[in-house]
Structure 1
Amino acid sequence: MRERKLRDIESGEYKKAIKKLGEAVMDDPALLERLDATPSKSDFIDLYCNLAKERDLSFSKSDLLIAVQEQKQGKDGIIPTIVLRMIADRF
C-alpha cells in the first residue's frame, strides 16, 4: 500500500510538470512554432523535455509518453489539445 501511495505522489508530480509546460507553451507562440517544426517523434520528445528542463520542470521521456497514452484514452487532459495533435502527427 505504501508503494502505491509513493507511486501516486510521483505520478502527480510529473503530471503537474507536464501541465505547467503545456501552459507555458500555449502562452508563447514561438514555442508552439518550434515544436511544430520538429520533423520526428524523437525530435519532438527531446525538445519538449528540454523545454521543461529550461523551466526547472521535471519529467522523463517515459512520463511524457505515458501522459500521451493516457490522454489518448480519455484520461487526464494535461497536455494542450494543439500539442497533443502535434504529437499525434509524429507518432
Structure 2
Amino acid sequence: MLKTAMERDQMARPFEQSIKQFGEAVMNDQSLLARLDQTPDKESFIQLYRSLAADRGIHFTRDDLLIAVQEQKQGSNWVIPRAVLLMIADRF
C-alpha cells in the first residue's frame, strides 16, 4: 500500500524528483553550496537554484520549488537537503 502511494505521488508530483536530484548534486559539490550561500535574498536564491539546476539538465518551476520548501518547513516531503533548507530559512 505504501509503495502504491509513493508511486502515485511520483506520478502526480514529478517535480519532487527533479528537486531531489538537484539537491543531491548540491550536496556532492561544495562550490554549489558556497555559491548558493552568497545569495542575499529569496528571489536571488530561487533564481540561482533554478539556474544551477538547469545547467545540469534538471528543470522545475519557481512554484514547484516554493511548494517543496513550504511542505518541508511543515515537516513533510523531505526532498531538499538540510544544508540547503537552512539557507532557505535565512532568506524566506
TM over 0.5: yes
Amino acid at match of 1:80: P
- What are the ranges of 5 or more consecutive residues in structure 1 without an aligned counterpart? 1-5
Aligned residues: 85
Taking only aligned residues, the RMSD between alpha carbons, in angstroms, comes to 1.6
- What are the ranges of 5 or more consecutive residues in structure 2 without an aligned counterpart? 1-7
CA distance in 1, matches of 2:31, 2:9: 35
- Runs of 4+ in structure 1 over 4 Å off: none
> Identity, % of aligned pairs?
54
State how 1:16-27 maps to structure 2 within 5 Å: 16-27=17-28
Amino acid at match of 1:56: G
CA distance in 1, matches of 2:84, 2:66: 13
- Match of 2:77? 76
Per the normalisation by structure 2, the TM-score is 0.86
Per the normalisation by structure 1, the TM-score is 0.87
- Match of 1:3? none
For the residue of structure 2 that corresponds to 1:71, the secondary structure is: helix
Amino acid at match of 2:73: K
Task: Work out whether 1:54 is the aligned partner of 2:55.
Answer: yes
Aligned partners of 2:26 and 2:33 also within 8 Å: yes
For the residue of structure 1 that corresponds to 2:20, the secondary structure is: helix
The range that moved more, 32-41 or 50-59, is 50-59
The offset of 1:8, in angstroms, is: 6.1
